[in-house]
Chains A and B, each alone.
Chain A
Amino acid sequence: MLEFINAFLKYGFIQNAIMAGLLASVASGIIGSYVVIKRITFVSGGIAHTVLGGMGIAYFFGFDPLIGAIGAAVISAVLLGLVNLKAKQHEDTLIGALWAVGMAFGIIFMSLTPGYNVDLMSFLFGNILMVTDPILRVLVALDLFILTIVLIYYRQFKLICFDEEHARLQGLPVEFLYILLLNLIALTIVILIKVVGLILVIALLTLPSAISALFTHKLGQMMIVSSGLSLAFTWTGLAISYGLDLPSGAVVVVLTGLAYLLALVFKRLYIKGQRKKSCEISAL
Chain B
Amino acid sequence: MKTVIELQNVSFSYDLRPILENLNLEIKVRDFTAIIGPNGGGKTTLLRLILGSLQPDRGNISVFGVSPKKARFQIGYVPQHAFFDQGFPITALEVVLMGTIQANSLFFRYSPRDHLAAMQAMDALNIADLADVRYGQLSGGEKQRVLIARALVGKPKLLILDEPTASVDSRVEHDVYELLKELNGEIPILIVSHDLGFVSSYVNKVVCLNKQLEVHDVDDISKGVITNLYKSPMEMINHQCLL
Contact = CB atoms under 8 A, between A and B. Distances in A.
Given A37-B89, A169-B51, A170-B101, 16 more contacts: A152-B106, A156-B101, A158-B90, A159-B98, A162-B90, A163-B84, A163-B98, A165-B79, A166-B77, A170-B73, A171-B72, A216-B89, A217-B90, A218-B90, A218-B94, A219-B89
Contacts of A219: 89-90
Contacts of A39: 85
B107 A170 contact: no
B103 A162 contact: no
Contacts of B170: none
A47 interface: no
A10 to B, nearest CB: 41
A222 B102 CA distance: 24
A154 B108 CA distance: 6
Interface of B: prevailing SS: loop
A243 interface: no
Nearest to B76: A169
A221 interface: yes
B135 to A, nearest CB: 9
Interface string A157-187: 0110111011111111100000000000000
Interface in B67-91: 72-73, 75, 77, 79, 84-85, 87-91
Nearest to A39: B85
Interface string A189-224: 000000000000000000000000100111111100
A30 B132 CA distance: 22
A277 interface: no
Interface of A: 37, 39, 151-156, 158-159, 161-163, 165-173, 213, 216-222
B34 to A, nearest CB: 21
B115 interface: no
B107 A154 contact: yes
Interface of B: 51, 53, 72-73, 75, 77, 79, 84-85, 87-91, 94-95, 98-99, 101-103, 105-108, 110, 132, 134, 150, 154
A166 B96 CA distance: 12
B134 A172 contact: no
Contacts of A165: 53, 77, 79
8 contacts: A152-B107, A156-B101, A159-B101, A165-B77, A166-B77, A166-B79, A171-B102, A172-B102
Contacts of A169: 51, 53, 72, 75, 77
Contacts of B108: 151, 154-155, 220
Contacts of B98: 155, 158-159, 162-163, 166
Contacts of A152: 106-107
Contacts of A172: 101-103
Contacts of A154: 107-108
Contacts of B84: 162-163
A167 B154 CA distance: 13
B91 to A, nearest CB: 6
Contacts of A168: 53
B101 A37 contact: no
Contact of B134 (A153, A156, A167, A217): A217
A222 B89 contact: yes
A220 B110 CA distance: 14
Nearest to B48: A165
A217 B106 contact: no
A213 B87 contact: yes
Contact of A213 (B89, B95, B101, B107): B89
A155 B89 contact: no
Contacts of B91: 217-218
A171 B132 CA distance: 27
Contacts of B72: 169, 171
A158 B105 CA distance: 12
B102 A170 contact: yes
A105 to B, nearest CB: 34
Nearest to B75: A169
Contacts of B89: 37, 213, 216-219, 221-222
A29 to B, nearest CB: 13
Nearest to A154: B108
The 3 A-B pairs with the shortest beta carbon distances in the complex, nearest first, are A217-B134, A222-B89, A171-B103
Contacts of A170: 73, 99, 101-103, 154
